[in-house]
A = this chain, B = another copy of it.
Amino acid sequence: MRIGVLTSGGDCPGLNAVIRSVVHRAVADHGDEVIGFRDGWKGLLECDYLKLDLDAVGGILARGGTILGSSRVRPEHLRDGVERARGHVAELGLDAIIPIGGEGTLKAARLLSDNGLPIVGVPKTIDNDIAVTDVTFGFDTAVGVATEALDRLKTTAESHQRVLIVEVMGRHTGWIALHSGMAAGAHAIVVPERPFDIDELTARVGERFEAGKRFAIVVAAEGAKPKPGSMAFDEGGKDIYGHERFAGIARQLSVELERRLDKEARPVILGHVQRGGTPTAYDRVLATRFGWHAVEAAHRGEFGMMTALRGTDIVMVSLAEAVESLKTVPESRYAEAECVL
Protein backbone atom coordinates (compact mmCIF):
# COMPACT_ATOMS: atom_id res chain seq x y z
CA MET A 1 0.00 0.00 0.00
CA ARG A 2 1.09 3.57 -0.56
CA ILE A 3 -0.06 5.97 2.10
CA GLY A 4 0.11 9.74 2.26
CA VAL A 5 0.06 11.49 5.65
CA LEU A 6 -0.43 15.14 6.47
CA THR A 7 -0.89 17.30 9.55
CA SER A 8 -3.07 20.36 9.27
CA GLY A 9 -4.18 23.26 11.46
CA GLY A 10 -2.68 24.50 14.72
CA ASP A 11 0.20 22.92 16.59
CA CYS A 12 -0.77 20.15 18.96
CA PRO A 13 1.46 17.91 21.09
CA GLY A 14 1.27 14.36 19.77
CA LEU A 15 1.26 14.99 16.02
CA ASN A 16 4.70 13.47 15.63
CA ALA A 17 3.63 10.44 17.62
CA VAL A 18 0.80 9.83 15.15
CA ILE A 19 3.10 10.19 12.16
CA ARG A 20 5.64 7.83 13.70
CA SER A 21 2.97 5.28 14.54
CA VAL A 22 1.58 5.34 11.00
CA VAL A 23 5.06 4.77 9.58
CA HIS A 24 5.96 2.02 12.05
CA ARG A 25 2.77 0.08 11.45
CA ALA A 26 2.61 0.62 7.71
CA VAL A 27 6.27 0.28 6.78
CA ALA A 28 7.63 -2.12 9.37
CA ASP A 29 4.61 -4.42 9.64
CA HIS A 30 2.79 -4.16 6.32
CA GLY A 31 5.68 -3.36 4.03
CA ASP A 32 3.85 -0.25 2.85
CA GLU A 33 5.38 2.95 1.54
CA VAL A 34 4.52 6.14 3.32
CA ILE A 35 4.97 9.70 2.14
CA GLY A 36 4.31 12.84 4.12
CA PHE A 37 2.87 16.01 2.59
CA ARG A 38 4.46 19.21 3.80
CA ASP A 39 2.44 21.82 5.61
CA GLY A 40 -0.87 20.04 5.56
CA TRP A 41 -3.27 20.09 2.65
CA LYS A 42 -1.01 22.63 0.91
CA GLY A 43 1.48 19.83 0.38
CA LEU A 44 -1.16 17.60 -1.20
CA LEU A 45 -2.45 20.42 -3.41
CA GLU A 46 1.08 21.27 -4.55
CA CYS A 47 2.46 17.74 -4.57
CA ASP A 48 5.10 18.74 -2.05
CA TYR A 49 6.09 15.71 -0.04
CA LEU A 50 8.91 13.65 1.41
CA LYS A 51 9.42 9.96 1.88
CA LEU A 52 8.73 8.72 5.39
CA ASP A 53 10.70 5.65 6.30
CA LEU A 54 11.69 4.41 9.75
CA ASP A 55 14.73 6.67 9.88
CA ALA A 56 12.67 9.71 9.04
CA VAL A 57 10.61 9.20 12.17
CA GLY A 58 13.45 8.21 14.46
CA GLY A 59 13.42 10.13 17.72
CA ILE A 60 10.24 12.10 17.07
CA LEU A 61 7.89 10.31 19.45
CA ALA A 62 8.46 12.75 22.31
CA ARG A 63 8.85 15.83 20.18
CA GLY A 64 6.32 18.63 20.02
CA GLY A 65 5.29 20.14 16.70
CA THR A 66 5.15 18.08 13.53
CA ILE A 67 8.01 17.10 11.23
CA LEU A 68 5.67 17.63 8.29
CA GLY A 69 4.80 21.19 9.17
CA SER A 70 1.27 22.45 9.12
CA SER A 71 -0.83 25.17 7.54
CA ARG A 72 -4.42 26.29 7.48
CA VAL A 73 -4.88 25.97 3.75
CA ARG A 74 -7.60 23.54 2.71
CA PRO A 75 -8.82 22.12 -0.63
CA GLU A 76 -12.06 24.03 -0.48
CA HIS A 77 -10.03 27.23 -0.26
CA LEU A 78 -8.93 26.83 -3.83
CA ARG A 79 -10.75 26.57 -7.03
CA ASP A 80 -10.18 23.10 -8.38
CA GLY A 81 -8.86 22.18 -4.97
CA VAL A 82 -10.61 18.83 -5.02
CA GLU A 83 -9.53 18.07 -8.58
CA ARG A 84 -5.95 18.99 -7.90
CA ALA A 85 -5.97 16.75 -4.85
CA ARG A 86 -7.50 13.90 -6.83
CA GLY A 87 -4.94 14.40 -9.56
CA HIS A 88 -1.97 14.19 -7.25
CA VAL A 89 -3.37 11.16 -5.45
CA ALA A 90 -3.56 9.41 -8.79
CA GLU A 91 -0.10 10.57 -9.95
CA LEU A 92 1.44 9.40 -6.70
CA GLY A 93 -0.44 6.14 -6.75
CA LEU A 94 -1.74 6.66 -3.24
CA ASP A 95 -4.03 4.00 -1.83
CA ALA A 96 -4.87 5.97 1.27
CA ILE A 97 -4.49 9.42 2.74
CA ILE A 98 -4.36 9.95 6.47
CA PRO A 99 -4.99 13.61 7.30
CA ILE A 100 -4.49 14.53 10.94
CA GLY A 101 -6.32 17.67 11.88
CA GLY A 102 -9.20 19.48 13.48
CA GLU A 103 -12.69 20.34 12.53
CA GLY A 104 -11.66 22.22 9.38
CA THR A 105 -9.39 19.42 8.24
CA LEU A 106 -11.99 16.77 8.92
CA LYS A 107 -14.52 18.72 6.88
CA ALA A 108 -12.04 18.89 4.04
CA ALA A 109 -11.39 15.19 4.54
CA ARG A 110 -15.08 14.51 4.28
CA LEU A 111 -15.37 16.60 1.13
CA LEU A 112 -12.56 14.69 -0.54
CA SER A 113 -13.92 11.39 0.70
CA ASP A 114 -17.35 12.22 -0.73
CA ASN A 115 -15.49 12.83 -3.98
CA GLY A 116 -14.05 9.36 -3.96
CA LEU A 117 -10.63 9.82 -2.39
CA PRO A 118 -9.50 7.11 0.05
CA ILE A 119 -9.39 9.03 3.34
CA VAL A 120 -8.91 7.82 6.91
CA GLY A 121 -8.85 10.74 9.30
CA VAL A 122 -7.24 11.23 12.70
CA PRO A 123 -8.81 13.93 14.85
CA LYS A 124 -6.67 16.67 16.33
CA THR A 125 -7.97 19.34 18.62
CA ILE A 126 -6.07 20.55 21.60
CA ASP A 127 -9.36 21.87 22.98
CA ASN A 128 -10.79 18.33 23.07
CA ASP A 129 -13.99 19.52 21.41
CA ILE A 130 -14.66 16.92 18.76
CA ALA A 131 -17.80 15.20 19.90
CA VAL A 132 -17.43 11.68 18.61
CA THR A 133 -14.26 10.81 20.48
CA ASP A 134 -13.97 10.76 24.25
CA VAL A 135 -10.59 12.45 24.17
CA THR A 136 -8.20 13.89 21.58
CA PHE A 137 -4.44 13.94 21.99
CA GLY A 138 -2.71 17.17 22.95
CA PHE A 139 -5.44 18.08 25.41
CA ASP A 140 -3.78 16.33 28.34
CA THR A 141 -0.50 18.12 27.65
CA ALA A 142 -2.16 21.54 27.40
CA VAL A 143 -4.08 20.93 30.62
CA GLY A 144 -0.81 19.84 32.22
CA VAL A 145 0.99 23.03 31.18
CA ALA A 146 -1.82 25.20 32.53
CA THR A 147 -2.02 23.16 35.74
CA GLU A 148 1.72 23.48 36.42
CA ALA A 149 1.47 27.23 36.00
CA LEU A 150 -1.54 27.35 38.34
CA ASP A 151 0.28 25.18 40.89
CA ARG A 152 3.09 27.71 41.00
CA LEU A 153 0.67 30.55 41.57
CA LYS A 154 -0.84 28.84 44.58
CA THR A 155 2.29 29.13 46.68
CA THR A 156 2.17 32.90 47.00
CA ALA A 157 2.61 33.97 50.60
CA GLU A 158 2.74 37.75 50.30
CA SER A 159 0.33 39.47 52.62
CA HIS A 160 -1.03 42.02 50.23
CA GLN A 161 -3.87 40.30 48.53
CA ARG A 162 -4.04 39.76 44.81
CA VAL A 163 -6.11 38.08 42.13
CA LEU A 164 -4.37 36.16 39.42
CA ILE A 165 -6.25 35.57 36.19
CA VAL A 166 -4.80 32.83 34.03
CA GLU A 167 -5.88 32.84 30.41
CA VAL A 168 -5.89 29.39 28.85
CA MET A 169 -6.84 28.12 25.41
CA GLY A 170 -10.43 27.53 24.50
CA ARG A 171 -11.97 29.86 21.98
CA HIS A 172 -15.30 28.03 21.79
CA THR A 173 -15.23 25.49 24.58
CA GLY A 174 -14.04 25.51 28.15
CA TRP A 175 -12.49 22.04 28.46
CA ILE A 176 -8.94 23.19 29.15
CA ALA A 177 -10.18 25.80 31.59
CA LEU A 178 -12.41 23.25 33.33
CA HIS A 179 -9.79 20.54 33.67
CA SER A 180 -6.89 22.78 34.66
CA GLY A 181 -9.10 24.73 37.03
CA MET A 182 -10.25 21.51 38.67
CA ALA A 183 -6.77 20.02 38.74
CA ALA A 184 -5.26 23.06 40.41
CA GLY A 185 -8.15 24.07 42.63
CA ALA A 186 -8.88 27.43 41.06
CA HIS A 187 -11.42 29.62 42.84
CA ALA A 188 -13.36 30.54 39.75
CA ILE A 189 -13.50 29.31 36.18
CA VAL A 190 -15.14 31.15 33.28
CA VAL A 191 -15.87 29.37 30.04
CA PRO A 192 -17.21 30.32 26.57
CA GLU A 193 -20.29 28.11 26.99
CA ARG A 194 -21.61 30.31 29.79
CA PRO A 195 -21.23 34.08 29.63
CA PHE A 196 -20.44 35.03 33.19
CA ASP A 197 -21.88 37.53 35.56
CA ILE A 198 -19.13 39.94 36.54
CA ASP A 199 -20.84 40.70 39.84
CA GLU A 200 -20.84 37.02 40.70
CA LEU A 201 -17.19 36.68 39.79
CA THR A 202 -16.31 39.74 41.81
CA ALA A 203 -18.20 38.35 44.78
CA ARG A 204 -16.56 34.95 44.44
CA VAL A 205 -13.11 36.53 44.47
CA GLY A 206 -14.05 39.01 47.18
CA GLU A 207 -15.12 36.17 49.49
CA ARG A 208 -11.60 34.81 49.41
CA PHE A 209 -10.20 38.13 50.57
CA GLU A 210 -12.84 38.63 53.23
CA ALA A 211 -11.88 35.22 54.58
CA GLY A 212 -8.34 36.53 54.91
CA LYS A 213 -6.90 34.52 52.06
CA ARG A 214 -3.88 35.99 50.34
CA PHE A 215 -4.81 35.26 46.76
CA ALA A 216 -7.58 34.22 44.45
CA ILE A 217 -7.01 32.33 41.21
CA VAL A 218 -9.34 32.72 38.26
CA VAL A 219 -9.02 30.52 35.19
CA ALA A 220 -10.41 32.11 32.05
CA ALA A 221 -10.82 30.31 28.74
CA GLU A 222 -9.79 32.76 26.02
CA GLY A 223 -13.27 32.70 24.52
CA ALA A 224 -15.06 33.42 27.77
CA LYS A 225 -17.16 36.58 27.83
CA PRO A 226 -19.17 38.50 30.37
CA LYS A 227 -22.94 38.68 30.03
CA PRO A 228 -23.76 41.44 27.58
CA GLY A 229 -23.88 44.85 29.12
CA SER A 230 -22.51 43.82 32.47
CA MET A 231 -18.96 44.92 31.87
CA ALA A 232 -17.08 47.05 29.38
CA PHE A 233 -15.64 44.44 27.09
CA ASP A 234 -13.54 44.77 23.98
CA GLU A 235 -14.28 41.96 21.58
CA GLY A 236 -10.88 42.55 20.18
CA GLY A 237 -11.25 42.88 16.52
CA LYS A 238 -9.66 40.26 14.38
CA ASP A 239 -6.29 40.09 12.74
CA ILE A 240 -5.79 38.72 9.24
CA TYR A 241 -5.88 35.16 10.54
CA GLY A 242 -9.13 35.61 12.34
CA HIS A 243 -7.51 35.89 15.75
CA GLU A 244 -8.36 38.37 18.46
CA ARG A 245 -5.81 41.13 18.32
CA PHE A 246 -5.68 43.30 21.38
CA ALA A 247 -8.28 42.30 23.85
CA GLY A 248 -7.74 39.41 26.09
CA ILE A 249 -10.18 38.21 28.68
CA ALA A 250 -7.42 37.96 31.31
CA ARG A 251 -6.25 41.52 30.85
CA GLN A 252 -9.74 42.93 30.81
CA LEU A 253 -10.71 40.99 33.89
CA SER A 254 -7.56 42.14 35.67
CA VAL A 255 -8.46 45.77 35.02
CA GLU A 256 -12.11 45.26 35.98
CA LEU A 257 -11.46 43.27 39.16
CA GLU A 258 -8.74 45.62 40.29
CA ARG A 259 -11.15 48.51 39.92
CA ARG A 260 -14.00 46.76 41.70
CA LEU A 261 -12.07 45.15 44.54
CA ASP A 262 -9.23 47.66 44.96
CA LYS A 263 -6.81 44.76 45.09
CA GLU A 264 -3.92 44.01 42.79
CA ALA A 265 -5.06 41.87 39.84
CA ARG A 266 -2.59 40.41 37.37
CA PRO A 267 -3.06 38.41 34.19
CA VAL A 268 -0.99 35.37 33.25
CA ILE A 269 -1.06 34.65 29.54
CA LEU A 270 0.30 31.25 28.63
CA GLY A 271 -0.50 31.56 24.93
CA HIS A 272 1.38 29.26 22.64
CA VAL A 273 3.27 27.67 25.51
CA GLN A 274 0.23 25.43 25.85
CA ARG A 275 0.55 24.18 22.29
CA GLY A 276 4.16 23.19 22.42
CA GLY A 277 6.70 20.90 23.88
CA THR A 278 6.93 17.25 24.74
CA PRO A 279 3.54 15.56 24.83
CA THR A 280 2.58 13.74 28.03
CA ALA A 281 2.70 9.96 28.13
CA TYR A 282 -1.09 9.90 27.88
CA ASP A 283 -1.05 11.93 24.67
CA ARG A 284 1.75 9.88 23.15
CA VAL A 285 -0.10 6.64 23.81
CA LEU A 286 -3.40 7.95 22.42
CA ALA A 287 -1.71 9.46 19.38
CA THR A 288 0.18 6.20 18.78
CA ARG A 289 -3.03 4.18 18.99
CA PHE A 290 -4.80 6.55 16.59
CA GLY A 291 -2.01 6.23 14.05
CA TRP A 292 -1.92 2.45 14.28
CA HIS A 293 -5.67 2.11 13.90
CA ALA A 294 -5.76 4.53 10.98
CA VAL A 295 -3.34 2.29 9.08
CA GLU A 296 -5.38 -0.79 9.95
CA ALA A 297 -8.58 0.90 8.76
CA ALA A 298 -6.88 1.81 5.49
CA HIS A 299 -5.84 -1.80 5.01
CA ARG A 300 -9.42 -2.88 5.63
CA GLY A 301 -10.63 -0.35 3.06
CA GLU A 302 -12.61 1.57 5.69
CA PHE A 303 -12.48 4.98 4.09
CA GLY A 304 -14.48 8.07 4.91
CA MET A 305 -13.84 7.19 8.53
CA MET A 306 -11.90 8.59 11.45
CA THR A 307 -10.29 7.12 14.55
CA ALA A 308 -11.95 7.84 17.86
CA LEU A 309 -11.55 6.80 21.48
CA ARG A 310 -14.55 5.22 23.15
CA GLY A 311 -13.82 4.18 26.69
CA THR A 312 -10.57 2.25 26.31
CA ASP A 313 -11.06 1.18 22.71
CA ILE A 314 -10.15 2.87 19.47
CA VAL A 315 -13.03 2.67 17.03
CA MET A 316 -13.75 4.11 13.60
CA VAL A 317 -16.49 6.67 13.13
CA SER A 318 -17.69 8.29 9.94
CA LEU A 319 -16.26 11.64 9.01
CA ALA A 320 -19.80 12.85 8.45
CA GLU A 321 -20.68 12.17 12.07
CA ALA A 322 -17.39 13.61 13.26
CA VAL A 323 -17.99 17.13 12.09
CA GLU A 324 -21.59 17.50 13.10
CA SER A 325 -21.16 19.20 16.38
CA LEU A 326 -18.79 20.75 18.84
CA LYS A 327 -18.34 19.03 22.18
CA THR A 328 -19.14 21.75 24.65
CA VAL A 329 -18.81 21.35 28.40
CA PRO A 330 -22.15 19.95 29.61
CA GLU A 331 -23.97 21.33 32.66
CA SER A 332 -23.29 18.18 34.63
CA ARG A 333 -19.56 18.83 34.56
CA TYR A 334 -19.95 22.28 36.11
CA ALA A 335 -21.33 20.90 39.33
CA GLU A 336 -18.34 18.58 39.77
CA ALA A 337 -15.93 21.46 39.33
CA GLU A 338 -17.63 23.57 41.99
CA CYS A 339 -16.17 26.83 40.81
CA VAL A 340 -17.38 27.37 37.28
CA LEU A 341 -19.40 30.54 36.99
CB-CB under 8 A from A71, the residues of chain B are: 158-160
Q: Which of A86-94, A107-115, A181-189 contacts B (4 or more CB under 8 A)?
A: A181-189
CB-CB under 8 A from A152, the residues of chain B are: 64, 145, 272-277
Q: Are B155 and A288 in contact (CB under 8 A)?
A: no
Q: Are B276 and A156 in contact (CB under 8 A)?
A: yes
Q: Are A264 and B281 in contact (CB under 8 A)?
A: no
- Please report which residues of chain A, range 107-156, place their CB below 8 angstroms from some CB of chain B when the two chains form the complex: 134-135, 140, 143-149, 151-156
Q: Are A134 and B312 in contact (CB under 8 A)?
A: yes
A236-249: CB near B (< 8 Å → 1, else 0) gives: 00010101011000
Q: Are A266 and B272 in contact (CB under 8 A)?
A: yes
CA distance A140 to B282 in the complex (A): 7
A284 at the interface (CB under 8 A from B): yes
A256 at the interface (CB under 8 A from B): no
The smallest beta-carbon distance between A39 and chain B, in angstroms, is 4
CA distance A39 to B148 in the complex (A): 26
The contact sample of 10 A-B pairs, CB cut-off 8 A, is A11-B155, A40-B159, A42-B159, A61-B184, A64-B155, A70-B157, A145-B152, A149-B270, A156-B272, A310-B311
Residues of A within 8 A of B (CB): 7, 10-11, 15, 20, 24-25, 28-29, 39-40, 42, 59, 61-72, 134-135, 140, 143-149, 151-160, 162, 164, 179-180, 182-185, 214, 239, 241, 243, 245-246, 251, 255, 258, 264, 266-278, 280-282, 284-285, 288-289, 292-293, 310-312, 335-336, 338
Given contacts A147-B281, A155-B276, A160-B241, 15 further A-B contacts (CB under 8 A): A39-B159, A61-B183, A65-B156, A70-B158, A71-B158, A71-B160, A140-B281, A149-B270, A152-B276, A183-B282, A239-B258, A241-B264, A268-B272, A280-B280, A289-B336
